[in-house]
Amino acid sequence: MRKKIVAGNWKMNLDYNEGLSLFSEVINIINDEVTGQQEVIVCSPFIHLHSLTQLAKGYKVAVGAQNAHQAESGAYTGEISAKQIKSTGAQYVILGHSERRQYFGETNELLAKKADTVLANGLTPIFCIGETLQEREAGSHFGIIKSQLEEGLYHLDEAAFSKIVIAYEPVWAIGTGVTATSEQAQEIHAFIRSEIAEKYSQQVADSITILYGGSCNPKNAPELFAQADIDGGLIGGASLKSRDFADIVKVFN
């Protein structure tokens, strides 16, 4: 059985105290209401990481960051290293989110280096891939996904690749209220899995958790998560509301 995961991505929202109160609400609801084996992750801004890992002690909620620098350390003013993230007690790092690719010029080549550094520091990358609306309309979405996998991750050996969580987030569905239909999402998830089977092995493909992200909410999550190759979600806007986030997590109860 593949691991089911629901991860929240708070993006650049919530001041320090707001983050702590939202997280306290989330861990308490999860504690009271989650009965399944699904893993719950909250990816917060850096300022919250250490406090959240302290609050999470004794609760089944893990904490992650939203980015990390590719270098181990050094003169990179304003950046955060994987080692620093690890030292907060966080376990995950989102890499290659489309907002990083779009607004900060992150390329597949750079993301390959970030994946190496994050893995070398014992953290799990949640590696985001996905096509823009233009690319989908041009019919190039399969090719885009394939090259994001090839250039970002296929340098990893089988053991390292097996540790990755993949998130398929069609850029046109992020923050727009337009979700991919469950058929559209399933089609791409199945494609990703078949590509991984071809590159690595069927066994690796079958064991990799692939999340869907993009306007996921408590209403559409049940149908999305019921698809054969969708193993959970990466949740933006709805992760800022404890009730909505918990209801999405509970789809796997």
Ligand X SMILES: O=C(CO)COP(=O)(O)O
Q: Residues with catalytic annotation?
A: 97, 169
Q: Which residue has the tokens 């949640």?
A: 126
Closest distance to ligand X from the beta carbon of 212 (Å)? 9
For 26, residues 6+ apart whose C-beta sits below 8 A from its C-beta are: 8, 40, 42, 61, 242, 245, 246
Q: With respect to ligand X, which residue has the nearer C-beta, 174 or 200?
A: 174
Nearer to ligand X among residue 126 and residue 200 (C-beta): 126
- Give the footprint of ligand X on residues 65-94 (CB under 6 A): none
Task: Give residue number: closest CB to ligand X.
Answer: 236
Whether 26 and 253 have beta carbons less than 8 Å apart is answered as no
Residue 165, amino acid: V
Q: State the residue for tokens 């190496």.
A: 116
Place of tokens 């009730």: 243
How far apart CA 75 and CA 114 sit, in angstroms, is 17
Is residue 115 a contact point for ligand X (CB under 6 A)? no
**In this chain, which stretch among 19-27, 83-91, 212-220, 221-229 interacts with ligand X, using CB under 6 A?**
212-220
Among 61, 115, 235, 246, binds ligand X (CB under 6 A): 235
| Under 8 Å between Cβ of 115 and 125 | yes
Asked whether residue 172 is marked as a ligand-binding residue, the answer is: no
Q: Using CB under 6 A, which of 5, 6, 9, 70 touches ligand X? A: 9
Using the rule CB under 6 A, which residue among 213, 218, 230, 252 binds ligand X?
A: 213
